[in-house]
Chains A and B, each alone.
Chain A
Amino acid sequence: MIDTVAFGSAVAMLAGSLDAWLWVVPGLLIGLVFGALPGISVSMAMALVLPATLYMEFLPAIIFLTSVYTGAGFGGSIPAVLINIPGTSSAVATTFDGYPMARAGKHNEALGAALFASCIGVLISYMILLVLVQPLAEVVLRIGPYEMAAIGIWGMVLLGSIGGSSVSKGMFAAGLGILFGTVGMNTAGYMRGDMGIPWLLDGIPTIPAMVGLLAASQLFALVNAKFIVEAEGDRGISLRRILAGGAMVLKNPVTLLRGTAIGVFVGAVPGIGSSIANLLSYGETRRTSADAETFGTGNVKGVIAAESANSSSEGGSMATMLALGIPGGGATAILLAAFAMHNVIGGPRFMEQSRDVVYAIILSNFAQAAVLVVVGTIFVYGASTIVRLPLRYLIPSVLVVSTMGAFAMEGSIAGPITLYVFAVLGWLLSRYGFPVAAVVVGLLLGRLIETEMLRAWQLAGGDLWRVLDYPWALGILGLMVLSLALSLRRDLAKRRALRAAASPG
């Protein structure tokens, strides 16, 4: 599968070009900073540096941009862990366990685990890309509405009632999220719930809404606290403990590999990407873990699952971009634009004619993953100092930065308004014990499920039995039912055992 001649010339190309290496560290740092700022997405960070690449050679330009991509992919998890605000929409699941870990004084470990899971995720996904770029792209292109709807439903079932005190409250919150997700124009061109406001034509701005919900629900809960980490002794920043977090990743290889696999395949599907992949991976890990009840309270496996999936999505979406010339999301669309600026047209012909360049890009990403370990550790070391900041300074600063991020994201006051409306809603929901995370999951997955189910219905022409023509979708749903039945049986057995232990005699 690997063309050795092209591989050799790719190595020579990288070895002979100092330029190509010069841009890795700046790229990663830019990505880390922008990824860590709430409201600046991966694709925005890349769009900001795109003009600079016009004046570079082709290979350094692409390496610079993919470095920003890799850096931003991890950068989003830093505020997710430290202040419960995902820096990008792909770090939502990282907040579920990362933030509880930080509050328990394990911020070093959480960030270390996130960093190592990200780096290894990127590494593995590019290895898969190196060997399987063509077949991977073919598989991904075949994933149609039926399969996507099945994947979305699976995610919803896994995460629908996440973090709730009761199932009914969880389902209410998830339903609310799904309804929010349907605001705006649907894929068939019908307007719903826009209340005549032009800003809602494309739906509720997801990132400001998400930041508002998650930040407010937590920040208001911190009113009586003086620091994010209560115990003074735990507020330290320790390289040893960051590395210990990294070691936890290696101790959970199954979680890591599952996350990576989900990231590579789901993240590669055009239009789906890492924001869905990290939720699915988290949900699957929680379902299969023996200690499922500790998820959401600071289980490091949750962080590993989320981060390995969102960073390995990068390799997946690169596959469709390189092999088919199809951008899977904003980030790869910008890479394609950078290709075009250098008069290179991505796609099958590019793969055939410039295999060496493709290999050079992939190889350089191996190096980026390795360099990210070092650069990321230093960055995390610096960023962690915010746990030492008294909350009376931190909370207002976070609100200001989030507001600016929301403004930058939407380019208008619609962003900050969304942020505040959802902040109030988030506070109300958490005040009355509704799980805010479920609203966010509904918001992210609801739109996907609705769009794909609508297309499935259109494809079938309203004929329910057409679903039988799509064995893969049926397979996914079948697996889902089977796995749910198994976990139900396990839960029942556990409950019976508990009851037996509790009752005397």
Chain B
Amino acid sequence: MTATGTPMLRRRALLAAGTGLALAAPAAHAQAYPDRPLTILVPFATGGYNDRLARAMAPFVQKHIGQPVTVMNRPGGGTVLGNTFFLQQPDDGYMVMVHSAGPYIPVSILTRNARYKADDFWMINLPSRDLTLMACATGKPTQSVDEVVASLKRDPRSLSVGLQPASADLINFALFCQAHGIDRSAVRVVTYDGGGPARNAVAGGHVDVGLVGGEGFLPIKDRIRPLLMFTDAKDSEYPDTPILTDHARAAGFEPQFVEGSQRGFVTSKRFVDAQPERYRILLQAIERATKDPECVTTLGGQQLATTWYGPEASNRAYLATAALMERYADLLRSR
């Protein structure tokens, strides 16, 4: 099992380098861009989903744009530092971000007084969509979401709930409580500064129930009992888990939820307006890389998404999340 994929990967790298050279030569005559290496900026630390996505995509973007592509991490301040740094760069198309743009950019504006606006950013493609998952440890007595509702309705202090402050998960929990008439201010909400710590707290049974992005739970799927997914369509990773729309119909309320992380390639609106020709080249390279069959297999094996939605759909989804976040801004701020 140790050898799976590796020799192939090596061959692929050689191939990538070869095609890269072949592509670069004619491109240099046609136009200047890109005539030097590109950087993918990740506003998170190494090892997370965005970092893995950026590093996995880099060789394929390199292959299709004809210049070396490197990954740079600039974590901190709930992506404020990375976002600010990115907007300070010249609009020359040599830097592009891989980002959980929704909800991080709007949330950073609403809760951390960041100086940029949501539409300063332009989505190229957001292939990864994460959903809020309500779950508990397998050792906990809670078996279903209905038990959670009954328990919290009887006494809001009966269960402790782990989540991240200023997150889509918090908004979903607030909407959930509102719909069920549960007094959220009385619930014992325990806050974690990151999805990882929040998931550990759920898996370790520190909290009775947790609401965190479902994708990150996959490696420790055996230790948790998924209770409810905040979505309107069944998820292939959690096929047996009830979804919010069904749950809401049964309980007799209008289903309301916000999407979790929307991750993928992001650039600045300024660059798109100032350099339409360069933007077209960059967009084309990322689209070809994303649709590259080798890329699809490689990333699929690493549980990374490669769906192509394109800028139009991606921006629509992102701006919809930003608008929803703004609508529920007071939920994010009042704790």
- B-binding residues in A (CB < 8 A): 13, 43, 47, 50-51, 54-59, 141-145, 185, 187-191, 198-199, 201-202, 270-271, 324-327, 330, 333-334, 336-337, 340-349, 353-354, 357, 411-412, 451, 454-455, 458-461
Contacts and interface: CB of A to CB of B under 8 A. Distances in A.
Contact of A333 (B46, B76, B166, B190): B46
Contact of B335 (A59, A189, A199, A455): A189
24 contacts: A58-B2, A58-B4, A144-B205, A144-B206, A188-B191, A188-B335, A189-B335, A201-B76, A201-B77, A202-B77, A270-B196, A270-B200, A325-B220, A326-B200, A336-B47, A337-B46, A337-B55, A341-B302, A342-B4, A347-B219, A455-B190, A455-B192, A455-B206, A458-B190
A190 to B, nearest CB: 8
B6 A455 contact: no
A57 B74 CA distance: 29
B111 interface: yes
Interface string B70-87: 000110111011001100
Contacts of A50: 46, 55
A421 to B, nearest CB: 18
Nearest to B115: A198
B207 interface: yes
A347 B220 CA distance: 7
B2 A57 contact: yes
A341 B80 CA distance: 28
B190 A459 contact: yes
Given A54-B13, A189-B191, A458-B189, 5 more contacts: A190-B335, A201-B77, A201-B80, A326-B199, A349-B222
B291 interface: no
Contacts of B76: 199, 201-202
Given A141-B204, A189-B166, A333-B46, A340 B3 contact: no
B153 interface: no
A201 B201 CA distance: 24
Contacts, number: 154
B204 A142 contact: yes
A324 B217 CA distance: 11
B219 A346 contact: yes
Contacts of B5: 342-343
Contacts of B45: 330, 333
Contacts of A189: 111, 165-166, 191, 335
Given A337-B51, A340-B302, A347-B220, A198 B204 contact: no
B301 interface: yes
A435 to B, nearest CB: 30
A483 to B, nearest CB: 27
A327 to B, nearest CB: 6
A343 B200 contact: no
Contact of B56 (A187, A341, A347): A341
Contacts of B189: 458
B47 A337 contact: yes
B188 interface: yes
A431 to B, nearest CB: 33
Contacts of B201: 144
